[in-house]
Amino acid sequence: MKLVIAKDYAEMSRLAADEFFALVASKPDCVLGLATGSTPIGLYDCLVEDYEAGKISFADVTTFNLDEYRGLDPEHNQSYHYFMNEHLFSRVDIPAQSTHVPDGANPDSDAACSDYEAGIIAAGGVDLQLLGLGHNGHIGFNEPCDHFPVDTHVVKLTERTIQANSRLFDSIDEVPREAYTMGIGTIMKARRVVLVANGADKAQTVHDAFFGPVVPQVPASALQLHPDVTVIVDEEAGALCK
């Protein structure tokens, strides 16, 4: 594992974007694994800047996102699909059919999950997977539990997550109860992984995930067993790793 401590959020975002830039420049038809959440927004802005400056094209890139709420249409403004359109897809030249997000609108969860997993394999596997880090060590929607989930699967959201998400919806009844997520096994199959984390509130989690024991109660700790992981954090999130 390589740990990079950037001075602030802007530097973290630029350094992480550079990893994606270098891959897309050297392998224009690469397969990227992408994440939502607040952490990667700066990174996506950097890639859009590179695209607008004419330095990079996404015309031949294929993407697979980590996760999506079950029961939300891609057009719903709280869907992860919508987030990706807002922050990256609609701002660069990637063809819509080359972007993949688990199909939240598919009520057949077995089909939604197995189709997604098969799609990644058919595309040749993920070259570079981007991850954020949850406060409890989750990656994707893989929450702490007693085993590492292998493939893309359905997760039940905890009452705490449902409550927290309700601020983004008109009523708590509209908050999805389940989500689709790549499994830890899906993530571990990516050839390379870049994880980004910022802020003092992530410092303990970064330490536990990358310097603590490998246990499913801290899902991100599995990454210690991956052969090519770069963790890029700002000084605050890296404070306990010096």
- CA-nearest of 20, 102, 101 to 61 is 20
Window of 30-38, 46-54, 108-116, 172-180 that interacts with ligand F6R by CB under 6 A: 30-38
Q: Per the residue annotation, which of 85, 106, 136, 165 is the catalytic one? A: 136
Check if 135 is active-site. Answer: no
Find the shortest distance in angstroms from Cβ 25 to ligand F6R: 25
Which one of 138, 186, 190, 223 is in contact with ligand F6R (CB under 6 A)?
138
Is the separation of the CB atoms in 98 and 166 below 8 Å?
no
Q: Is 39 in the site for ligand F6R (CB under 6 A)?
A: yes
> What amino acid is encoded at 220 in this protein?
A
Token pair recorded at residue 6: 């950037």
Please state, in angstroms and rounded to a whole number, the distance separating the CA atoms of residues 195 and 237.
12
Asked if residue 189 binds ligand F6R (CB under 6 A), the reply is no
Interaction between residue 67 and ligand F6R (CB under 6 A): yes
Q: Is 165 a known active-site residue?
A: no
Segment contacting ligand F6R (CB under 6 A): 33-41, 85-93, 103-111, 227-235? 33-41
What separation, in Å, do the N-terminal and C-terminal C-alpha atoms of the chain show? 15
Which of 81, 87, 100, 138 is catalytic? The answer is: 138
Binding window for ligand F6R (CB under 6 A); candidates: 99-107, 121-129, 131-139, 224-232: 131-139
Among residues 48 and 139, whose Cβ is nearest to ligand F6R?
Answer: 139
Question: What amino acid occupies position 84?
Answer: M
Catalytic residue numbers, as ranges: 67, 136, 138, 143
Instruction: Give the binding site for ligand F6R (CB under 6 A).
Output: 35-39, 66-67, 132-134, 138-140
